[in-house]
Structure 1
């Protein structure tokens, strides 16, 4: 099963989860109201968001993972928060503060460190193309979050439309690939991604942001996720984590943390 069809299964799964959540919370009617009330203004933005995520983002990310060891692709993708700072500075004409510049430079040093970590690949050579795909995914993800900044739609309704349009895009793209639906392993993998990488994870994160008394602390807790991912990458995928991978990841996380410190920069994620 090609990864386009796997992503289609994932997006359908996430759409089902969002639909269930809408009915569970009594917000199903808001889907229709969103389309009727100012639909001409809101739907194009939702369609654009769906083009970014899940469509482009996961296609690019999966391409990166197909070319790079997971221990390299994952930290490079995680640099999206620093990319977000740079993009907002350009788009909103905001001057970067000293802490943000320092954070960007540290994160960039981490990216360079990871890009030079050829020992992470069994062949001894990292794919330059894969590195560009991984960094490209961070740009797409940052763009997706910028598109959400001025969106006043309920976050669960927004997710529903993102996965609805994303499913349509992926269904159209899958028509250009041979049908390979016989793989049970691929089907289960697609469902897993739809639940734990898309639908359920997005919903839980939205709820966590709403319920958290201190959103800064909550955001900083997420810095643990790439470190925990290295454990799974080592024990599940069998990759041998190199010191350069660990040091590069620490630089990326450190740069993100410094760039997002509210007390210095005045900005929080």
Structure 2
């Protein structure tokens, strides 16, 4: 398989890697619930972050960049601390807490509303005007959230604190990316710095709360999966894909496949009954994102 991949053209490699990242991200909601049903969220976050840190370190070492990345930390330590506390600490704490209180088919689509928050934060950060279509897209997106929540009442696991935490997590994720817009570090180096900074913080919290959960063997596999694939390889695949294609929009559009694939895994593995309101609400969220990103039409020459 690796040999076949190497014989693909650069553009085809980019699309293949982008699709691989999307397929991995589509399994995230299922993996989160499997892990959190057995382990406390600090246990899931500590082990998955540890796996990701080892992965990023290994890739940097393989590329001969590990020493340089450590030296760069001396220069960018302030930014590394800020962003490392945002992600993975605050963001994933909030997201996992939301998944703890919501069914997967509710939490995962709400997480996709981070794109609306990002567009507003980016406009404010860059001192750019907020377009009417940004507000329109947000209205469609949060209408989708309303459909999801109301449709699940009395039929799925859903709480108002859980919905609030899921929406709050989108603000932390968007803030993380906005702050990173002017980051001069290579993405892989930045992720290594952030997880390196976060690891001792997470370790102290974990030791304070206790480590008895490690005895529950059912939590190991999904948590290792989260660290290796969701936090680690999916990010590397996505960043590499964007570097290898000429038109990044082709890769970016693949992300719309993930949430619908996620509903399949949620149904097959978690055995959640997929409500009609779930794909409808998700459809509104993705429609809002499409509307925001749709290119402005140029006026007709005859008008």
Compute the displacement of 1:120 (Å): 7.2
- Residue 238 (structure 1) aligned to one of 268, 271, 289: 271
8 Å contact 1:220–1:257 — kept in the other structure? no
Tell me the equivalent position of 2:71. Answer: 33
Q: 1:6 & 1:104 partners in 2: Cα distance? A: 31
SS of alignment partner, residue 129 of structure 2: coil
1:93-118 Cα offsets, whole Å, 9 max, x none, are 32122322221221121122112122
In the alignment, is residue 156 of structure 1 matched against residue 188 of structure 2? yes
Matched, 1:199 2:237: no
* Deviation of the 1:21 alpha carbon: 0.7
More divergent stretch after superposition (246-255 vs 26-35):
26-35
Would you say 1:188 and 2:226 are equivalent positions?
no
The worse-fitting range, judged by mean Cα deviation, of 48-57 and 172-181 is 172-181
1:172 maps to what in 2? 204
Shift of the alpha carbon at 1:122?
3.8
Q: Confirm or deny: 8 A CA contact 2:152 2:277 kept in the other structure.
A: no
Q: What TM-score do you get using the length of structure 1 for normalisation?
A: 0.91
8 Å Cα contact 1:10/1:190 also seen in 2: yes
Cα deviation, residue 121, structure 1: 3.5
> Residue deviations 1:198-223, cap 9 Å, x none?
01111111111111211112111111
For residues 208 and 134 of structure 2, the distance between their equivalents in structure 1, rounded to whole angstroms, comes to 44
Please give the per-residue CA displacement for 1:132-170, whole angstroms capped at 9, x wherever unaligned: 011011111111111210001011111111111121221
Unaligned runs of 5+ in 2: 1-38, 298-303
Mapped pair 1:77 → 2:111: yes
Aligned match for 1:66, one of 100, 103, 128: 100
The aligned residue for residue 165 of structure 2 is 133
**Equivalent of residue 261 in structure 2, options 223, 228, 244:** 228
Aligned length, in residue pairs? 258
Paired residue for 1:104? 138
* CA pair 99-171 structure 1, distance change in 2 beyond 3 A: same
Distance 2:274 2:153 in 1: 9
CA distance in 2, matches of 1:138, 1:260: 18
Q: Aligned equivalents of 2:264 and 2:97: distance in 1?
A: 22
Distance 1:98 1:122, change over 3 A: closer
